[in-house]
Structures are given as structure tokens and as C-alpha cells.
């Protein structure tokens, strides 16, 4: 319980230190993606945070905006750039979210922020994931990430919310580092992103 009160302070300093350490990587990837994505290295999107409050998440833009003859965006795997593949493989696209943590919109560890359009689709139990700030990594991410079904993901999210502690956060962070190095659970089947949640 005490940790919950100091979690925001811990998040701020961890994010600040991480940004300073990763600044060479941050700058390098930004430059590469700037040229790979026609001057658009970042991807911004509205996501629901704690208590459903909407904020703008910032990530590296790993896919270009190429469209077919009808003006519809091409499938993910056709728009994923070479630099984008590398960035996704090692989860480097999450680095800019450290800025969201510094702003107070996100936490280092917590349920991943999903789409705003999913808010009315949650059942009462699933909505508990918004009782805490969303995180850069979380319990679901170290237990399968995009390879998990939606039901499994929500179960891990709720389990985290109900058992949040300093030691749990440390364990998740250590597992995250391991997962990043072995690129485990990054993609869901043949897609680069998780299938859309359509409700229960």
C-alpha cells in the first residue's frame, strides 16, 4: 500500500535516468526513422490512462503510410520498414514512452494502454485495469505479450492491479529485459500487431 503512494516518484526518476542513459540510442533511432518514414519518426495516438483519462502516447513509427490503389493502408507486414523491424524486434519503439512517464500519464510497469475505442467493450472486471496508470511493460508482456489471447491478457492485467508491489515491479522489469533480448512474444501469429478486441 505504501509503495502505491511513492510509485509515481519512483517512476519519474527511473524514467529520467533511463532517458539519460539511452539518449544516444534515442537520438540515433530518431534520425534513422526520420529518413525511413519521410520525416515522421514518431507515432502519436490517444490512449486511455488511469480512470480512463485519455492522453497521447508517443512511440517510434515503425511502419510507413503506404496505401493500395483504393487509398486503404497496406497490411502491417507490407508497411513495416527495415529500421522498424529492428526497432520492434528489440522493443525499442517503447523508448519514447519514457516521456509519457515523465509527464505523469504512464508508469514504468502497469497494464499496457490499449485503444480508446475499447473502453465501452470492457466488462466490470476488465475495467479494473484502469484503476492504475498504464505501463511501458507489464505482467502480460512478460508472460506472452502479443502471443496471448485477450482473455489471458486481461487476467494478467487484473492480477497485477490486485497484487501491485515493489517486488512485483522489479520482477517484471527483470523479465522484460530478458524478453527483449530473446525477442519473445513480439508478434501475434503472422501480424505485427495484436488482433483487435471486439468485446466479450
Q: Decide if 197 is inside a domain.
A: no
Exposure string over 177-200, b if 16+ CB within 10 A, otherwise e: eebbeeeebbbbeeebebeebeee
Q: Decide if 90 is inside a domain.
A: yes
What's the pLDDT score for residue 80? 85
Q: Which among 88, 106, 100 is positioned nearest to 146, based on CA atoms?
A: 88
Place of cell 480512470: 51
Q: What is the DSSP letter of 87?
A: H
Q: Decide if 29 is inside a domain.
A: yes
What does the alpha-carbon distance between residue 160 and residue 139 come to, in Å, rounded to a whole number? Answer: 6
Q: How many domains does the chain have?
A: 1
Place of cell 496508470: 133
Q: Decide if 187 is inside a domain.
A: no
What's the pLDDT score for residue 63? 87
What's the pLDDT score for residue 192? 54
Range of the domain at 45: 2-182
Q: Decide if 193 is inside a domain.
A: no
| Residue length of the chain | 200
Question: Is there a contact between 43 and 81 (Cβ–Cβ < 8 Å)?
Answer: no
Return phi, psi of residue 42, to 5°: -115, 155
Q: Decide if 198 is inside a domain.
A: no
Cell of 170: 522489479
What does the alpha-carbon distance between residue 118 and residue 104 come to, in Å, rounded to a whole number? Answer: 22
Render each residue's pLDDT in the chain as its tens digit; 200 residues.
Answer: 688 889 999 999 999 999 999 999 999 999 999 998 888 899 899 999 999 999 999 999 988 888 888 888 888 878 888 888 888 888 888 999 999 999 999 999 999 999 999 999 999 999 999 999 999 999 999 998 778 899 999 999 999 999 999 999 999 999 998 887 776 655 544 445 668 898 87
Amino acid at each position: 500500500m505504501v509503495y502505491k503512494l511513492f510509485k509515481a516518484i519512483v517512476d519519474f526518476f527511473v524514467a529520467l535516468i533511463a532517458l539519460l542513459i539511452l539518449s544516444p540510442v534515442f537520438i540515433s533511432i530518431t534520425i534513422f526513422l526520420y529518413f525511413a518514414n519521410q520525416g515522421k519518426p514518431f507515432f502519436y495516438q490517444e490512449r486511455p490512462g488511469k480512470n480512463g483519462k485519455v492522453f497521447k502516447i508517443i512511440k517510434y513509427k515503425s511502419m510507413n503510410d503506404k496505401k493500395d490503389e483504393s487509398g486503404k493502408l497496406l497490411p502491417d507486414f507490407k508497411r513495416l520498414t527495415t529500421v522498424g523491424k529492428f526497432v520492434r524486434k528489440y522493443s525499442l519503439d517503447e523508448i519514447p514512452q519514457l516521456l509519457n512517464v515523465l509527464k505523469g500519464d504512464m508508469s514504468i510497469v502497469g497494464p499496457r494502454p490499449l485503444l480508446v475505442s475499447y473502453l465501452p467493450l470492457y466488462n466490470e472486471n476488465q475495467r479494473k485495469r484502469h484503476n492504475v496508470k498504464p505501463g511501458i511493460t507489464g505482467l502480460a508482456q512478460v508472460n506472452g505479450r502479443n502471443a496471448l489471447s485477450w482473455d489471458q491478457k486481461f487476467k494478467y492485467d487484473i492480477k497485477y492491479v490486485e497484487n501491485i508491489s515493489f517486488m512485483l515491479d522489479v520482477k517484471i522489469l527483470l523479465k522484460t529485459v530478458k524478453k527483449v533480448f530473446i525477442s519473445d512474444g513480439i508478434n501475434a501469429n503472422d501480424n505485427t500487431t495484436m488482433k483487435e478486441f471486439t468485446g466479450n
